[in-house]
Structure 1
Amino acid sequence: MDNRPQLKRDGNEKRSRSLLARGCLAMKKALFAFLLILAAALRADAFWGKKSESIPGRRDAVRKALLWVPDTRTLDWEALRSFLERENDASFTLAIVPEEIPNEEAAWLVGLSSSNNIEIALRIPGDPILPLAKKGRPYLAAEKIALSRLRYKKIFGALPVGFVAGGGAILPSDAKRLPRLGIRWTAVGDNEFTNAWYGDEQLVLMPFHSILSTDLGTMPPATDTAALVIDEVAGALPPGSGLAILDHLVSSSGDEAYTTVSRGIAEIHPYVVGPESWPTWRDDLAFWNQSYSQQTAWKLYHRAAKAVTAYQNSGSASIARLNKAEASLTLARSARNFVDENLQDPTIESDFRNALTSAYKAIRKSAPRILRRRIMDPEASGFEEPQLVESTGGDVLIEVKADRLIFTNPKGSTAALPLSLPSLAPDTTAAHLWTPRSLEIGWNETAVDFRIALARLSPSEKTASGFSYLLVDLYIDLNHLSGRGSTSLLSRRKGFVDPTDAWEYVLVVEDSEASLYRSLPGHPPSRIATVAPDIDLENGTITLSIPRRRLRGNPATWGYILTTMMPKTDRRSSYRPPRPVPGETGSPLLGMLGSLDEQRDLTTKRESTYRRFTAQRAGRTNN
């Protein structure tokens, strides 16, 4: 029997099944690829902190986290009970110091925290501004948090999940220890970054917008930040004013407008990358360390703390005396003592000096005589507030005025040459084109202005209003703290800065274009704004104006690093930031604002092509 037709049919069926299987496999691969792309898109949204149009109403659908930081010295506990009895569905986080909870209120607070509407977060005694208070005691934050955490557990029967530092000021080096203590979130200030993000070990950093007015007619404040804080202890609001603000927010906005910090974090989905610089609720640390009185107070505190540490390490210290001294230092480093207007209050100022005197007395050491005088007395500090730092030995001249700083390079300043020299005008040298004459910074409530002056600017070959052969970087350090900002200059610059001068922002100027970049941890800097420079070719000046919403804080306390280079002109538009050409020393960096010694180091050919920079600051000399 001829079975060829049957074999043919069987072959056709096998081929059909094979094609069907291949088609199904291809469809599965296509579906899998689509899901991967979708997941990546959503992940990218979380990673980069950008709102995706594919997630409608993401910010609108969530409640704001509400945090109250009361001053327990003025807290009306009966009024708080009455408020919560009337608004029994109110939901917020109450941050409190366990050691300051009255015994008669402890049981009520335990019941309150079990209601799920109220979350109790941890604070430490005095609410110190940790980045400023920990000088000489790097583990101050960890020590105090560990002690207060145990007291919290004794009262509430569980460990706290949230920690609130004084003024929302905390360093990454302190924050990274929090997860090991069971802390899952901590509070910082808001800036341009308004959403929570993950730090080390899945610790959530939650940015808060601080309420700064007791005028109930202005509330709730207009902000995109996902959380609000009512702070009575670090200078944002007067002590005792928070409950009225809390009552108004809850009663006027409804029970569903606000929630606890932990629930708020769950609703907004923290990003996996955050900003390099963590602002405080008052923008930066200068709020507590700006005026003459504040700087004097910190100097007096650190002097007393150093004396107590020396006694502790003496080998003959008494535990009882150390405890008394530490209790006095706790009172002295309270955040309220470093709010400028509080230091003008005779009672607060006197209490601060008495606390320091008690610390010395506890360790049987005579207190310095300067503690007998008001801090307002210029002689109390042992130093004069700098108004003018003369240029000696080839240093930068620094002029300090009420609303501006002027840095002037010393006579004899010079610059290196690029490897390929452009056609320069007769009698034009490298010092003319690449050595800054001065940097002037002026500010008001709306903007910060930067004016960079050189001996000459060559007219642009490409634009009507720009210049040629010059690329300028101006790095800005907002806080003078290690671990906050970037220590590397921009790509292809071959330079680095000291950790305490790590920069948060940099202005890059070339031809008729300027851009503002912000440092990002573990990633290239992000360009956040473009600026139209005002260029005066005749006088050799470049002026840039940056809105205050971009640069907050006090420019008088910032650090500045100004460098000059020659830009590459081939395919310039494709590079952001622009790239420099090599210099004859091996470094692309040609000129700078700095002492003659620093300039010689920059312009001398060395084995290493990398250069180190130190920020210029008001009151700093290069000796």
Structure 2
Amino acid sequence: MKTSKKYYLILIVIVLILPIIFLSKMFAETKNDLIIFWLVDRKEGEKIETYRYFVNLLEKYPQLHLNLSFSPPVLQNWVTRAPDLVEKLKSLQGKKQISIVFPPFYEPVLPLLYDYNPVVSFSYPIDIREQMARSWELYQQFFDSLPNGIVPPAGAISSAILDLLSEFEIKWIVTGGEEISEGGYAPFVQYLTDAGEVVYLFFRENKLSEYRDRISPATEYSLNITSAKEKVKQWIAQIVDKNYPLTVVTLEGIPRAFTADEKEYEIVKQLFEQIVQGKFVTYTAENYILKNPSAKRTMTLKPLSWREDGFSAWTDKIEKRAAWKLLEQARSAVEKYKNSGQAEIKTLDNILEEIYFCESGDNFLHFGEAAYENSEKIELNFRLKLVNIYRLIGQPIPEELFHPLASYSFFGSLPSEEETKIEIDENERLFSLLDPSGDSFDERFDLENFSCRERVNSLDKEEIVFSFTFSNPIVLTEVVTSTEVITFSEVDTSIEPVVVSTEEAGSLQETIASENEVITSTGFYVIESSTPTEIENKVERIFVDLYIDLNNRVGAGSVALLPGRRALTIPEDAWEYCLTTEINTSGIKEAKLYRAKENNSSQKLGEFPVVINSSYTFSVDIPKEILYGKPMNWGYLVAIFKETVYYQEGDNTQKVNSEEMEIIDLIIPRGKTQKQVLSDSKLNPSLSAVRIR
């Protein structure tokens, strides 16, 4: 009996303990996914021997997968100086152990060139496309293929940038950290572009990236760190502690030697060895997407960078803001030269090369940063490049370029009272363009505010609400410009009439309009005229035009405005849709929506009711099934036109004269004023759209 109990006890112990042992072993063998993006910038180009060692380690550990983003000039250099190294990289990529990608050639901070520059109105997506095309062409020469992804400089992206990059068939992009998810770190998501293309986003874990700079002496792991081995061990321990199913990190180049006794690449050796020995499965971006094609989808994306100081790293100091102002002025001058009809292709190529160099984000990081090595040399080189641009296009060189950037503290200040201001409310999906007060050429129609908001209406349908607010009540009255007799209800016939000539009629009409009480009390005026039985009326019509550019592409859309408008858009802001609303003496008419067609023509899509919100504001609702996409990614040109028609009334009413439509108010990009754009009313101005991002 005792023996039987003993066996039962042993059996119970086995039943209880074995699952625990099994589960412990199972969990001990569980490995987390790790994706590393290794960034090889221009400064790495001289470390040829170190990278030979780097590649040999990769060959030693075929289970280790890496993604490498090379600054294009580095591989250009190695093709000549280290062809064996380039061949090994090509071989590793062919085996799918590594994935190599390129950034845009001069590595600009992409949103700052397109849709999100807090200093100036700088929107040249064509420059991004040209730098991308140059990198892609070079990549194809090296690898006989095109890259699938990109690591933008500093991970700086926006919705508009993703839409642009998708033109290059980009499948994945690396960007900043935890900002994307309200629930915490979300390293891998899908984004759907305006064109309906899926782009996978890898969000790096900021605190684990660039580990050589991130480890604080205050952490429990940093005690007694005396070697590269211990430093890597510390970093690995932090990844293990976080226990993410997937961790994404970026590592910027070969770290310096940790101690005086170690070689530069010792930390690379330790890094590779400990990752292979650790509880990780490493992936290239392409392989991870194949394994996990159904990632969580994000619908919104604000402009972001993985830097802790965000975009201020390139814009916060006086010198940086001055540099943006000078670059914007030079880029604008180049655009005028390009469109002048006198530009020589070879000269233009040289000019644009200088522009692309100046757009590099690395330049702006150094401006005003005395602690950075060679910051003064980099600034001088930047100013000399701009000087050369003006020489090449044959224009006077601005005096500012011969002085340090710090000399011009007024550059890059907040927009002046004469400039358009932009307000954005991401939560409400609302933005507003605030037009300077009092800049209209007709004070009766001084546009104060244009806004756009996405919403769901009472029928559960998505729509876009465009609103226009003026400084004065929206009223237009018919004006009599010449009469035979003007009388009033209270006439004192005992007072002798005042006789004036026809030439004085114009000034008389102004007197009547401004001194009505005086005229009423004194009787009536008689105007001498050869045709006293005829009346000439001046009839005015106001057109509030909203031109929408969906893609900022040259060759897409129409540069000609609607018929009768004496203006054009610049080529890259050609419009796809136009919403126009007429205001006349009978009130505000229904709004008409037009779509641009080939050869700068247009087609009316329909008419939409105007909602009178107040005597100062009206709005128009457009269903998103007609005008679909993301309004904050579009460009907007808001222009107010006035048409004047003269009619002669008598036995037969007839039109005797009509003036061309003229622009009386305009919303223009920041950095310019309406007075500058419309300085010569005899010319057909080329108008730019305002970019929200």
TM-score (norm. length: structure 2): 0.45
- Higher radius of gyration, 1 or 2: 2
Which structure shows the higher strand fraction? 2
Normalising by structure 1, what TM-score? Answer: 0.50
